[in-house]
Structures are given as structure tokens and as C-alpha cells.
Amino acid sequence: MATVKERFKEVADKANADTKELLKEHGGKKIGEVTLSQIYQGMRGMTGLVSETSLLDANEGIRFRGYSIPELQQRLPHAPGGKEPLPEGLFHLMLIGELPTEDDVTTVSNAWARRSHVPTHVFAAIDALPVTAHPMTQFVCGIMALQTESNFAKAYAKGLNKKDYWEYVLDDAMDLIARLPRIAAYIYRRKYKNGDHIQPNGLLDWAGNLAHMLGYEDEGFKELMRLYMTIHADHEGGNVSAHTVHLVGSALSDPYLSFAAGMNGLAGPLHGLANQEVIKWIMELREELGVELPTKQQIDAYVRKTLTEGKVVPGYGHAVLRKTDPRFTAQMEFAKKHMPDDPLVNTVWNIYDTVPGILKELGKVKNPWPNVDAHSGALLVHYGLVEYEFYTVLFGVSRALGVLASLCWDRALNFPLERPKSVTTDSVHKWLKGEGEIWGE
Ligand code: CMX
């Protein structure tokens, strides 16, 4: 059976030749115009990079190599007796570009199990932080400590032909993905379970083993982890975490450095940290009212209060999406199947009935619909994982699949150092008066 590396080389060689041809023939074609508003307002709608692993449609949501989430749930291999896709399969799909067979998934699963050893100095680095440190801070420190293991950094220091970059990046990507569940679980058990750590079970799949090491043996939770790790993996290339990994990687910083940088971005409340903010916000609502299941009227008043205080409603809105996020819908379907009467889940659904109307009233919110973070916490709470500050770490473990598969492609396609042009407002004013240009050489 071909290894992941052999399969990747085959498809990457072909893609490289195709890309050269594409640029030779069409490299001069314009794909859009850039307005002044766009450069001041977060580059929305500005096409600026290539990311092979997934594509986001504003109205339809994410497709991974052309497959929607419901399609992946059907077509990716499952764990024995399970119904949710194995994230190993999604990684294969994103990396190789083809749906995996059961054997392909076993190959990835076995490779990750073999590569999952975490050196003790990584745990020591995490332990050097106060236990009160935010789990994302501990996560990033753990990834940084693991950088000592980078094959790419070692090979580059010895002298590496640029044609071979991808091979070492792929090695690092596989190692890092294999090791992240152990690091995440270590942080969770250290912070919330008195450092009572659980050894990995090499017979379990990657997400099932994560559930096991966190201390959750319920089959429902393992299925949730498989779904969770699949749907959070990638959201095309421009989001903060993916774009950061791509940008930092373009300096040939190794995959550990690049991924750690991306995780610092994921830790922002407008991005991945929104998943903890949602549950914190709902818990505060429940506490304020002293009820478990607030009514829609009570939710309405709470949302308006949040907005009056100049805060955002966490879990709602998106920079690209203009409809309910299919990642939200996938989690809602999971909840309907596994926990339809859960009061927190029902609160999430009541919020879904209430918030979009209020955000629409504001007139400025481009997408009043829920994103992935609006639902994820309630599912975790259902199984007992109530420590919401940990939630973004789970998002981060999953996000590694997409951004690291993408990083392999960045090096395989030889993307250069990323370096867009910036301007000053002074230079803009001069340009508007016809006194100079604002584009670079
Ligand atoms: N609650 C209140 N106001 C919101 C809002 C929300 N959920 N979403 C957008 N707005 C506001 C913006 O703050 C902005 O207000 P100002 O003009 O006063 O600055 C206005 O509506 C226009 O914003 P937009 O163009 O609709 O949204 P952006 O592309 O600028 O921002 C996002 C997108 C996600 C940052 C924003 O919707 C938001 O802050 N949502 C809440 C946080 C959240 O859930 N983030 C997670 C996103 C998914 C992820 O990455 O994990």
C-alpha cells in the first residue's frame, strides 16, 4: 500500500506541472479590483491567496475538496459501529484531493498512532506555566516546545533543496497532528482534573483517542469528537488562523512555528475563542435569571442588553457566510439525534429563533445567522465537558488538519514569501490629489 508521502508526491507533481501551465497561459488575467474601503476594512471580498483544501461559498457554506458536510458524513469512512466521519479521512481528502478508502484511513490512523509520542520536555514546558493560564496559552506553549522536533528546521539548517521542502513539511505536519491530542488532553487534565493524566489507547482512532485521554468514554462523546474534529478542520484560506499559518509558513518558518502562530489567532474572541464566549454568555444569562431554560422573551431582552453594552452577540455573524453555517446545522442534527431534550441545547435553539431578527434590525450586520461556535459548547456540556475555557483548544486540534494539509501544498507548489503592499493614509490623500501613486514597484 502506498504511503501518504508517496500518494502526495504523485498528486503534487501533477498539480505543480498544471499550475505552471495555468500561470503561463493565464497569469496575466485580472481577477478583481481593490477598493479603498477594502484595504481599510479587513480586505473583505479581496481574493488574495490560494488554498487548495476547501472553498467557502457565502450562501452554501464550506466544501472540502468539493464535498459538503452532509456528503462527508455519508462518504467518509466511519469508526466501527459509528455514523460520523473519521477526521483521518478528511485529512486524506484535503491532502490528496480524493475520497479515501477504508485502507487509506487505516494508513493515516496508524501513521498518527506511530508518530504520537510527545517528549517529556513539552509537558515540562506546559507545567512551567501557572495552572491558571488560559488553555490556549498552554496549548501554544506546548506546540512551541514541540518545535525542537521539527524535521524541516533540522533539514533546512543542514541545507535543503527547495524541491524537497514539502517532504519535510509533510513529515512535520503528520507528527504534529499525531501529537496534538496528547498535548490538548494533558492541558485539560492538568487544569481541571488535578493532573490525573490518562495514557493514550493506540487501538482507538485519532478523535476517539482524544476523547479517551480527556476522560470521556461515552461512545456518544467519541462520535461527537469525530464530527467536531471534521467540521472545524478548515474554512478556506483567508480566516485568521489559516491565513496566519500560511503567512508565517511563507517565511519558511517550520510547521510548528507556523501552526503556533495560527493558534494565537484562533485564540481571539472574534475567531475561535467565540466558542467559549457563547457558553459563558449563556451561563451568565441563566445565572442572571436564575432559570435553566430562559424563554424567548428573556433571551430577546438579554441580546438587546448585550448590544446596548457595545458587545457582539457571540456565535453570530461571519465575514464571508451569509446564511446559517452548515457546521451549525450539522451540530444541531447531532443534538436532535442524541440529546433533543437537553435544556442547554434547547436554549441554543431558542437563541437561534431570536437573535437573527434582532441583528437584522440593526441594519449593519451583514450576516445575522449563527456560525459554528453558536452550537459546539452546548454539545460538550451535555457530555460533562463544562470547562468552557478549554473549548478553543479542541477547535485548534481540529484546525491543524486543514491548515497543515494546506501548508504541505504551499511548499509543494513553491508559493513564495507573502508580502502584500501597505499604504499610509497620508499616501492615500496624496494619491487622491494626484500627487503620487500608492501601488508598489
Ligand atoms: N453581534 C453584534 N454586532 C455584530 C455581530 C454580532 N454577532 N456581527 C457583526 N456585528 C457588527 C460588527 O461589529 C460591525 O459593527 P460596527 O460597524 O459598529 O463595527 C457591523 O455589524 C458589520 O460587521 P459585519 O461586516 O457584519 O461583520 P465582520 O465581517 O466585520 O465580522 C465577525 C465578522 C464574525 C467578526 C462578527 O460577525 C462578530 O463579531 N461575530 C461575533 C463573534 C463570533 O461569533 N466570531 C466567530 C466567527 C466564526 C469563527 O471564526 O470561529
pLDDT per position as a tens digit, 148-204 = 999 999 999 999 999 999 999 999 999 999 999 999 999 999 999 999 999 999 999
CATH 1.10.230.10 placement within the chain: 274-382
Average pLDDT, integer, range 351-361: 98
> Residue 440: its pLDDT value, please?
58
> Residue 352: its pLDDT value, please?
98
On the question of pLDDT at 250 being above 90, the answer is yes
| 242, 236 contact by CB (below 8 A) | yes
**Is 104 one of the catalytic residues?**
no
What is the CB neighbour count within 10 angstroms for residue 276? 26
On the question of pLDDT at 48 being above 60, the answer is yes
Class of the domain covering 274-382: mainly alpha
Which phi-psi region, left, alpha or beta, contains residue 363 (left: φ > 0; alpha: ψ -120 to 50)?
left
Q: In which band, very low, low, confident or very high, does the pLDDT at 436 lie, cut at 50, 70 and 90?
A: confident
Q: Which atom of ligand 1 is nearest to the CA of 307?
A: 2
List ligand 1's pocket residues with C-beta within 6 A.
239, 270-272, 274, 307, 312-319, 359, 364-367, 371-373
When the pLDDT of each residue in the chain is averaged and rounded to a whole number, the result is: 97
Cell of 275: 466558542
**Is 373 one of the catalytic residues?**
yes
> Residue 1: its pLDDT value, please?
62
How does 283-293 read in b/e, with b if 16+ C-beta sit within 10 Å? eebbeeeeeee
Cell of 10: 504523485
**Is 172 one of the catalytic residues?**
no
Average pLDDT, integer, range 210-233: 98
Ligand 1 centroid vs 110 CA: distance in angstroms? 41
Q: What is the pLDDT of residues 387-424, one digit of tens each?
A: 999 999 999 999 999 999 999 999 999 999 999 999 99
CATH 1.10.580.10 placement within the chain: 1-17+43-269+389-430
> Residue 73: its pLDDT value, please?
96
How far from 290 is each of 89, 285, 287, 332, CA to CA, in Å? Answer: 44, 8, 5, 25
Ligand 1 centroid vs 312 CA: distance in angstroms? 7
Which residue do the cell numbers 501551465 mark? 21
| CATH fold group of domain 1-17+43-269+389-430 | Citrate Synthase; domain 1 (1.10.580)
